[in-house]
Amino acid sequence: MNRKLVYLSLAILAPALTACTSPAKDIPALRSEMDAAVAGNLGQALYHWEAAEERFEEANHILGHWQNDHYWNIDQRQKAMNAARDAANHRLESEKAMCNWLTEVHSDNHDKAGQVQRTGAFFSTGSATPYNTNHHDINLIGQYLKTHPEATADVVAYTDTVGSAASNKSLAERRAASVANMLRQAGARPNQLRTSAVGEADGPNNTPNQKHRVVKISTVHAGYKDCAHLQ
């Protein structure tokens, strides 16, 4: 072969070989990008959910073999049990992460929810015994306090302006105590309840007003989280 032809062939081949050379590996950068994909509560929720599906499919594949009387051995049995167990664990972790994400997303709503005021009972003028009680909300709040020991509730009583200010202050105290007792019967602990008596609400003197003859309840749970049973 002509030596010049060989040199020419090598000259053409060399750039081609250079172009085929693998680029430098950047493992740390790739790992960083992958970590970013599963970062945070939402990322972890998706990661564990996908892992749960993969492990579930492994267990289900072996189950299909067994149901169709295919050959299997003791190693396959252990693989199936491990896969099913891993699937359940990954699903639980996914639910935990999703609930943590919901808590982050809804944090403003949780703060507002802790300040929502409910009217627990209505009273006649001069009476500390309610003629109309919101049993549904009282039972709901009582059960909520029972299952959330760290939560509290404010029980605030009012009166209208019929009678003296002093007598109405005492009347409001009895009204607050009456509703607090209902909350305790519904499950609340005494140390979770803060009672206060505002007494006469604003308005003209010696004027009956049904809107002011009430006891209002506000629940407070600053540390609220979605799905607390999963924490």
Q: Which residues contact 157 (CB under 8 A, 6 or more apart)?
A: 172, 173, 175, 176, 179, 195, 196, 197, 198, 214, 215
pLDDT digits (tens, 9 = 90+) for 108-130: 555 544 456 788 999 999 999 99
**220 by DSSP, 3-state: which?**
strand
Task: Give residue 157's pLDDT.
Answer: 96
> Quick check: 152 and 192 in contact, CB under 8 A?
yes
Say what percent of the chain tops pLDDT 70. 79
Task: Give residue 140's pLDDT.
Answer: 87
Lowest mean pLDDT among 44-48, 134-138, 170-174: 44-48
DSSP string, 117-169: EEEEEE--TT-SS-SEE-HHHHHHHHHHHHH-TT-EEEEEEEE-SSS-HHHHH
d(CA 88, CA 102): 21
pTM for this entry: 0.51
Q: Does residue 230 register a pLDDT over 90?
A: no
Task: Give residue 66's pLDDT.
Answer: 86
Q: In what order do the strands lie in the sheet with 152-159?
A: 132-133, 117-122, 214-220, 152-159, 193-200
Q: Does residue 63 register a pLDDT over 80?
A: yes
Answer with the residue of higher pLDDT: 104 or 177: 177
pLDDT classification of 5: cutoffs 50, 70, 90 = very low
Q: Tokens 């053409």, residue?
A: 12
